[in-house]
Protein backbone atom coordinates (compact mmCIF):
# COMPACT_ATOMS: atom_id res chain seq x y z
CA UNK A 1 0.00 0.00 0.00
CA UNK A 2 2.84 2.35 0.88
CA UNK A 3 4.51 1.70 -2.47
CA UNK A 4 1.27 2.40 -4.35
CA UNK A 5 0.91 5.76 -2.59
CA UNK A 6 4.47 6.78 -3.47
CA UNK A 7 4.11 5.58 -7.05
CA UNK A 8 0.85 7.50 -7.49
CA UNK A 9 2.42 10.62 -6.00
CA UNK A 10 5.25 10.48 -8.55
CA UNK A 11 2.70 10.02 -11.34
CA UNK A 12 0.88 13.17 -10.20
CA UNK A 13 4.13 15.15 -10.07
CA UNK A 14 5.09 14.20 -13.64
CA UNK A 15 1.68 14.95 -15.17
CA UNK A 16 1.99 17.35 -18.13
CA UNK A 17 -0.73 19.79 -19.23
CA UNK A 18 -0.70 21.21 -22.79
CA UNK A 19 -4.36 22.01 -23.32
CA UNK A 20 -7.53 22.59 -21.24
CA UNK A 21 -8.72 19.01 -21.78
CA UNK A 22 -5.60 17.71 -20.02
CA UNK A 23 -6.65 19.42 -16.79
CA UNK A 24 -10.05 17.77 -16.85
CA UNK A 25 -8.39 14.44 -17.65
CA UNK A 26 -6.20 14.89 -14.56
CA UNK A 27 -9.26 15.41 -12.36
CA UNK A 28 -11.00 12.34 -13.74
CA UNK A 29 -7.91 10.15 -13.48
CA UNK A 30 -6.95 11.04 -9.91
CA UNK A 31 -9.79 12.83 -8.08
CA UNK A 32 -13.07 11.47 -9.45
CA UNK A 33 -15.13 8.88 -7.59
CA UNK A 34 -13.58 6.17 -9.72
CA UNK A 35 -10.16 7.80 -9.82
CA UNK A 36 -6.93 6.28 -8.56
CA UNK A 37 -6.98 8.14 -5.23
CA UNK A 38 -10.51 6.97 -4.50
CA UNK A 39 -9.46 3.44 -5.43
CA UNK A 40 -6.71 3.52 -2.79
CA UNK A 41 -9.22 4.71 -0.17
CA UNK A 42 -11.37 1.67 -0.96
CA UNK A 43 -8.35 -0.61 -0.56
CA UNK A 44 -7.59 1.10 2.76
CA UNK A 45 -10.54 -0.79 4.32
CA UNK A 46 -8.57 -4.02 4.03
CA UNK A 47 -5.44 -2.67 5.70
CA UNK A 48 -4.63 -4.18 9.13
CA UNK A 49 -5.66 -1.99 12.04
CA UNK A 50 -2.09 -1.47 13.27
CA UNK A 51 -1.15 0.12 9.90
CA UNK A 52 -4.25 2.24 9.37
CA UNK A 53 -3.10 5.29 11.32
CA UNK A 54 0.08 5.84 9.31
CA UNK A 55 -1.38 4.84 5.94
CA UNK A 56 -4.47 6.97 6.62
CA UNK A 57 -2.25 10.04 7.07
CA UNK A 58 -0.34 9.16 3.89
CA UNK A 59 -3.61 8.80 1.92
CA UNK A 60 -4.93 12.13 3.17
CA UNK A 61 -1.64 13.79 2.23
CA UNK A 62 -1.88 12.18 -1.21
CA UNK A 63 -5.44 13.41 -1.70
CA UNK A 64 -4.50 16.94 -0.63
CA UNK A 65 -1.44 16.83 -2.87
CA UNK A 66 -3.56 15.74 -5.86
CA UNK A 67 -6.17 18.46 -5.15
CA UNK A 68 -3.53 21.18 -4.79
CA UNK A 69 -1.78 20.02 -7.95
CA UNK A 70 -5.10 20.17 -9.80
CA UNK A 71 -5.70 23.78 -8.66
CA UNK A 72 -2.14 24.79 -9.51
CA UNK A 73 -2.46 23.32 -13.01
CA UNK A 74 -5.70 25.25 -13.61
CA UNK A 75 -4.21 28.50 -12.37
CA UNK A 76 -0.98 28.09 -14.30
CA UNK A 77 -2.77 27.28 -17.56
CA UNK A 78 -5.20 30.23 -17.19
CA UNK A 79 -2.33 32.63 -16.49
CA UNK A 80 -0.47 31.48 -19.61
CA UNK A 81 -3.60 31.85 -21.71
CA UNK A 82 -4.24 35.38 -20.42
CA UNK A 83 -0.65 36.36 -21.14
CA UNK A 84 -1.02 35.15 -24.69
CA UNK A 85 -4.22 37.17 -25.16
CA UNK A 86 -2.95 40.34 -23.49
CA UNK A 87 -2.05 43.15 -25.88
CA UNK A 88 0.71 45.55 -25.05
CA UNK A 89 -0.63 48.82 -26.42
CA UNK A 90 2.81 50.39 -26.14
CA UNK A 91 4.22 48.06 -28.79
CA UNK A 92 4.45 49.37 -32.37
CA UNK A 93 1.54 48.26 -34.54
CA UNK A 94 1.78 45.71 -37.29
CA UNK A 95 2.27 47.22 -40.75
CA UNK A 96 -1.07 47.45 -42.58
CA UNK A 97 -1.04 47.34 -46.35
CA UNK A 98 -2.74 50.44 -47.70
CA UNK A 99 -5.32 50.10 -50.44
CA UNK A 100 -5.33 52.04 -53.68
CA UNK A 101 -7.96 54.17 -55.34
CA UNK A 102 -9.77 52.80 -58.38
CA UNK A 103 -8.37 54.03 -61.73
CA UNK A 104 -11.78 55.51 -62.61
CA UNK A 105 -11.73 57.51 -59.37
CA UNK A 106 -8.16 58.63 -60.02
CA UNK A 107 -8.92 59.87 -63.53
CA UNK A 108 -12.20 61.45 -62.46
CA UNK A 109 -10.43 63.38 -59.71
CA UNK A 110 -7.69 64.51 -62.10
CA UNK A 111 -10.21 65.79 -64.69
CA UNK A 112 -12.17 67.69 -62.04
CA UNK A 113 -8.97 69.23 -60.70
CA UNK A 114 -7.95 70.41 -64.19
CA UNK A 115 -11.25 72.17 -64.87
CA UNK A 116 -11.51 73.63 -61.38
CA UNK A 117 -8.24 75.45 -62.06
CA UNK A 118 -9.91 77.38 -64.88
CA UNK A 119 -13.04 78.32 -62.98
CA UNK A 120 -15.45 75.41 -63.44
CA UNK A 121 -17.71 74.34 -60.59
CA UNK A 122 -18.92 70.78 -60.02
CA UNK A 123 -22.64 69.97 -60.27
CA UNK A 124 -24.15 66.53 -59.74
CA UNK A 125 -27.61 65.06 -60.24
CA UNK A 126 -29.72 61.92 -59.87
CA UNK A 127 -29.00 58.78 -61.88
CA UNK A 128 -32.77 58.25 -62.27
CA UNK A 129 -34.05 61.00 -64.54
CA UNK A 130 -37.19 62.04 -66.41
CA UNK A 131 -37.52 62.14 -70.17
CA UNK A 132 -37.80 65.93 -70.26
CA UNK A 133 -34.36 66.62 -68.78
CA UNK A 134 -32.59 63.64 -70.34
CA UNK A 135 -33.96 64.26 -73.84
CA UNK A 136 -36.62 66.96 -74.23
CA UNK A 137 -34.66 69.99 -73.00
CA UNK A 138 -31.59 68.84 -74.93
CA UNK A 139 -33.21 69.08 -78.35
CA UNK A 140 -34.26 65.43 -78.66
CA UNK A 141 -37.82 65.78 -80.03
CA UNK A 142 -40.23 62.97 -79.14
CA UNK A 143 -39.97 60.06 -81.60
CA UNK A 144 -36.96 61.74 -83.23
CA UNK A 145 -34.37 59.29 -84.74
CA UNK A 146 -31.66 61.00 -82.65
CA UNK A 147 -33.01 59.18 -79.59
CA UNK A 148 -31.84 55.93 -81.15
CA UNK A 149 -28.25 57.13 -80.68
CA UNK A 150 -28.60 56.16 -77.02
CA UNK A 151 -30.37 52.87 -76.32
CA UNK A 152 -32.11 53.67 -73.05
CA UNK A 153 -33.06 51.72 -69.92
CA UNK A 154 -36.61 52.85 -69.14
CA UNK A 155 -37.72 52.21 -65.56
CA UNK A 156 -41.32 53.25 -66.26
CA UNK A 157 -42.08 54.02 -69.92
CA UNK A 158 -45.59 55.22 -69.02
CA UNK A 159 -44.18 57.84 -66.63
CA UNK A 160 -41.13 58.54 -68.84
CA UNK A 161 -38.72 57.64 -66.02
CA UNK A 162 -35.34 56.24 -67.03
CA UNK A 163 -31.71 55.69 -66.10
CA UNK A 164 -29.89 58.70 -67.47
CA UNK A 165 -27.93 58.10 -70.65
CA UNK A 166 -25.58 61.08 -70.14
CA UNK A 167 -24.83 63.65 -67.48
CA UNK A 168 -26.06 66.38 -69.84
CA UNK A 169 -29.30 65.96 -67.92
CA UNK A 170 -27.56 67.72 -65.01
CA UNK A 171 -26.75 70.60 -67.34
CA UNK A 172 -30.42 70.81 -68.33
CA UNK A 173 -31.28 71.34 -64.66
CA UNK A 174 -28.46 73.89 -64.25
CA UNK A 175 -29.62 75.95 -67.23
CA UNK A 176 -33.19 75.84 -65.92
CA UNK A 177 -32.22 77.01 -62.42
CA UNK A 178 -29.24 79.35 -62.98
CA UNK A 179 -28.68 82.47 -64.99
CA UNK A 180 -25.55 83.00 -67.13
CA UNK A 181 -22.68 83.09 -66.82
CA UNK A 182 -22.63 79.31 -66.22
CA UNK A 183 -19.38 77.35 -66.09
CA UNK A 184 -19.83 73.83 -64.70
CA UNK A 185 -18.78 70.22 -65.08
CA UNK A 186 -21.06 67.29 -64.25
CA UNK A 187 -19.38 63.98 -63.32
CA UNK A 188 -21.37 60.80 -62.78
CA UNK A 189 -22.39 57.33 -63.84
CA UNK A 190 -24.59 56.80 -66.88
CA UNK A 191 -26.36 53.80 -68.40
CA UNK A 192 -27.00 52.60 -71.95
CA UNK A 193 -28.41 49.31 -73.18
CA UNK A 194 -25.29 48.24 -75.05
CA UNK A 195 -23.50 44.92 -75.48
CA UNK A 196 -20.57 44.47 -73.12
CA UNK A 197 -17.26 44.07 -74.92
CA UNK A 198 -13.63 45.11 -74.62
CA UNK A 199 -14.54 48.64 -75.79
CA UNK A 200 -18.08 49.21 -74.47
CA UNK A 201 -20.18 48.60 -71.36
CA UNK A 202 -23.79 49.08 -70.27
CA UNK A 203 -22.67 51.43 -67.49
CA UNK A 204 -19.82 53.90 -67.51
CA UNK A 205 -18.81 57.32 -66.21
CA UNK A 206 -18.82 60.73 -67.87
CA UNK A 207 -17.82 64.27 -67.12
CA UNK A 208 -19.84 66.75 -69.16
CA UNK A 209 -18.83 70.40 -69.30
CA UNK A 210 -20.92 73.51 -70.03
CA UNK A 211 -19.89 77.14 -70.46
CA UNK A 212 -22.44 79.86 -71.25
CA UNK A 213 -21.60 83.55 -71.34
CA UNK A 214 -21.44 86.51 -73.67
CA UNK A 215 -19.26 86.20 -76.78
CA UNK A 216 -18.35 82.54 -76.23
CA UNK A 217 -16.94 81.13 -79.48
CA UNK A 218 -15.75 77.86 -80.98
CA UNK A 219 -12.19 79.15 -80.56
CA UNK A 220 -12.80 79.29 -76.78
CA UNK A 221 -13.97 75.67 -76.91
CA UNK A 222 -10.88 74.55 -78.82
CA UNK A 223 -8.49 76.34 -76.48
CA UNK A 224 -10.22 74.91 -73.40
CA UNK A 225 -9.97 71.37 -74.75
CA UNK A 226 -6.34 71.86 -75.80
CA UNK A 227 -5.54 72.94 -72.23
CA UNK A 228 -7.32 69.86 -70.88
CA UNK A 229 -5.57 67.46 -73.28
CA UNK A 230 -2.09 68.76 -72.45
CA UNK A 231 -2.72 68.71 -68.70
CA UNK A 232 -4.18 65.20 -68.88
CA UNK A 233 -1.98 63.46 -71.44
CA UNK A 234 1.21 65.53 -71.54
CA UNK A 235 2.52 68.86 -72.78
CA UNK A 236 3.34 67.53 -76.26
CA UNK A 237 -0.20 66.31 -76.92
CA UNK A 238 -1.83 67.55 -80.11
CA UNK A 239 -5.58 67.66 -80.79
CA UNK A 240 -7.80 67.69 -83.86
CA UNK A 241 -11.52 68.35 -84.18
CA UNK A 242 -13.62 66.41 -86.70
CA UNK A 243 -17.16 67.39 -87.70
CA UNK A 244 -19.83 65.27 -86.02
CA UNK A 245 -23.46 65.41 -84.91
CA UNK A 246 -25.08 65.76 -81.50
CA UNK A 247 -28.69 66.96 -81.07
CA UNK A 248 -27.84 69.49 -78.38
CA UNK A 249 -24.83 71.17 -80.07
CA UNK A 250 -24.42 72.90 -83.43
CA UNK A 251 -21.82 72.80 -84.85
CA UNK A 252 -20.61 69.55 -83.25
CA UNK A 253 -17.25 67.83 -83.29
CA UNK A 254 -15.31 64.80 -82.09
CA UNK A 255 -11.93 65.51 -80.56
CA UNK A 256 -8.93 63.25 -81.15
CA UNK A 257 -5.56 63.43 -79.44
CA UNK A 258 -2.22 62.33 -80.82
CA UNK A 259 -1.50 58.78 -79.67
CA UNK A 260 0.93 58.92 -76.74
CA UNK A 261 1.86 55.25 -77.07
CA UNK A 262 3.29 55.42 -80.57
CA UNK A 263 3.96 59.15 -80.85
CA UNK A 264 1.62 59.43 -83.81
CA UNK A 265 3.41 56.77 -85.87
CA UNK A 266 0.51 54.27 -85.67
CA UNK A 267 -0.21 51.30 -83.41
CA UNK A 268 -3.04 48.94 -82.43
CA UNK A 269 -4.44 51.37 -79.87
CA UNK A 270 -4.88 54.17 -82.41
CA UNK A 271 -5.71 51.72 -85.21
CA UNK A 272 -2.54 52.82 -87.02
CA UNK A 273 -3.90 56.34 -87.56
CA UNK A 274 -1.79 58.14 -84.96
CA UNK A 275 -4.95 59.61 -83.37
CA UNK A 276 -7.28 58.47 -80.59
CA UNK A 277 -10.84 59.75 -80.08
CA UNK A 278 -11.41 61.02 -76.53
CA UNK A 279 -14.54 63.22 -76.41
CA UNK A 280 -17.43 64.91 -78.19
CA UNK A 281 -18.12 68.63 -78.11
CA UNK A 282 -19.78 71.57 -79.81
CA UNK A 283 -21.53 74.92 -79.47
CA UNK A 284 -24.77 74.71 -77.48
CA UNK A 285 -27.72 74.63 -79.88
CA UNK A 286 -29.85 77.81 -79.62
CA UNK A 287 -32.95 75.62 -79.17
CA UNK A 288 -31.45 74.27 -75.91
CA UNK A 289 -30.82 77.80 -74.65
CA UNK A 290 -34.31 78.99 -75.58
CA UNK A 291 -35.99 76.10 -73.71
CA UNK A 292 -34.03 77.23 -70.63
CA UNK A 293 -35.18 80.83 -71.28
CA UNK A 294 -31.65 82.05 -71.95
CA UNK A 295 -31.43 84.97 -74.36
CA UNK A 296 -29.73 83.59 -77.50
CA UNK A 297 -29.08 87.08 -78.84
CA UNK A 298 -26.92 87.85 -75.83
CA UNK A 299 -25.47 84.51 -74.74
CA UNK A 300 -23.73 81.63 -76.47
CA UNK A 301 -22.03 78.60 -75.05
CA UNK A 302 -20.21 75.35 -75.64
CA UNK A 303 -20.47 71.85 -74.16
CA UNK A 304 -18.30 68.74 -74.13
CA UNK A 305 -18.50 65.19 -72.80
CA UNK A 306 -15.53 63.12 -71.62
CA UNK A 307 -15.70 59.36 -71.07
CA UNK A 308 -13.79 58.63 -67.87
CA UNK A 309 -13.21 54.92 -68.61
CA UNK A 310 -11.86 55.71 -72.08
CA UNK A 311 -9.54 58.34 -70.61
CA UNK A 312 -8.36 55.89 -67.93
CA UNK A 313 -7.63 53.30 -70.61
CA UNK A 314 -5.45 55.80 -72.45
CA UNK A 315 -3.67 57.06 -69.33
CA UNK A 316 -2.85 53.58 -67.99
CA UNK A 317 -2.61 51.61 -71.24
CA UNK A 318 -5.61 49.38 -70.45
CA UNK A 319 -6.92 47.50 -73.49
CA UNK A 320 -10.19 46.10 -72.09
CA UNK A 321 -12.86 48.25 -70.41
CA UNK A 322 -14.24 45.21 -68.58
CA UNK A 323 -11.16 45.15 -66.34
CA UNK A 324 -12.41 48.38 -64.77
CA UNK A 325 -15.60 46.70 -63.52
CA UNK A 326 -14.44 43.22 -62.45
CA UNK A 327 -12.85 44.26 -59.11
CA UNK A 328 -9.89 41.92 -59.60
CA UNK A 329 -7.57 42.78 -56.72
CA UNK A 330 -4.52 41.81 -58.78
CA UNK A 331 -5.48 44.41 -61.38
CA UNK A 332 -6.42 47.16 -58.91
CA UNK A 333 -3.19 46.81 -56.89
CA UNK A 334 -1.26 48.28 -59.81
CA UNK A 335 -2.65 51.76 -59.27
CA UNK A 336 -1.33 54.37 -56.88
CA UNK A 337 -3.24 57.12 -55.11
CA UNK A 338 -2.24 59.78 -57.63
CA UNK A 339 -1.65 60.03 -61.36
pLDDT digits (tens, 9 = 90+) for 24-33: 887 888 788 7
Residue 135: CATH number of its domain: 3.30.930.10
110 within domain boundaries: yes
Measured torsion, CA atoms of residues 276, 277, 278, 283, in degrees rounded to the nearest 10: 140
Is residue 94 in a domain? no
188 and 283, same structural domain?
yes
Q: What's the whole-model pTM score?
A: 0.68
Q: Please state the domain count of the chain.
A: 2
Which bin fits 139, alpha (ψ -120 to 50), beta or left (φ > 0)? left
Residues near 188 by beta carbon (within 8 Å), at least 6 away in sequence = 124, 125, 127, 164, 167, 170, 205, 206
Is 198 in the same domain as 271?
A: yes
Q: How far apart are CA 118 and CA 186, in angstroms?
A: 15
CA–CA distance, 120 with 125 (Å, rounded to integer): 16
Per-residue pLDDT of the chain (339 residues; tens, 9 = 90+): 777 778 878 888 887 777 778 888 878 887 887 888 788 777 777 777 777 778 778 778 878 888 888 888 777 766 655 555 566 677 777 777 777 889 999 999 999 999 999 999 999 999 999 989 999 899 888 877 767 767 888 888 777 899 999 999 999 999 999 999 999 999 999 999 888 887 788 899 999 999 999 999 999 999 999 999 999 998 989 999 999 999 999 999 999 998 877 766 777 767 788 888 899 999 999 999 999 999 999 999 999 999 999 899 888 888 888 999 988 888 888 875 544
Is residue 91 situated within a structural domain? no
* 54 and 110 share one domain: no
Domain containing 162 equals 103-332
Helix (H, G, I), strand (E, B) or coil at 282: strand
Residues 174, 146 share a domain: yes
Amino acid sequence: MKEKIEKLKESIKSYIVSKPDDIEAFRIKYLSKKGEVSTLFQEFRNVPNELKRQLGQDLNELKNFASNTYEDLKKSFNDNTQNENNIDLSLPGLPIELGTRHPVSLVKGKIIEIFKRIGYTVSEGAEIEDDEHNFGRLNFPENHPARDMQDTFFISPDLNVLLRTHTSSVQAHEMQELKPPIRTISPGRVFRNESISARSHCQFHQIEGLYIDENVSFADLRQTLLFFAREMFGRDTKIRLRPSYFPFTEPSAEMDISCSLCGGKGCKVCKHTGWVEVLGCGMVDPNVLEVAEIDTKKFTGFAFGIGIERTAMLVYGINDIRLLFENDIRFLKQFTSAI
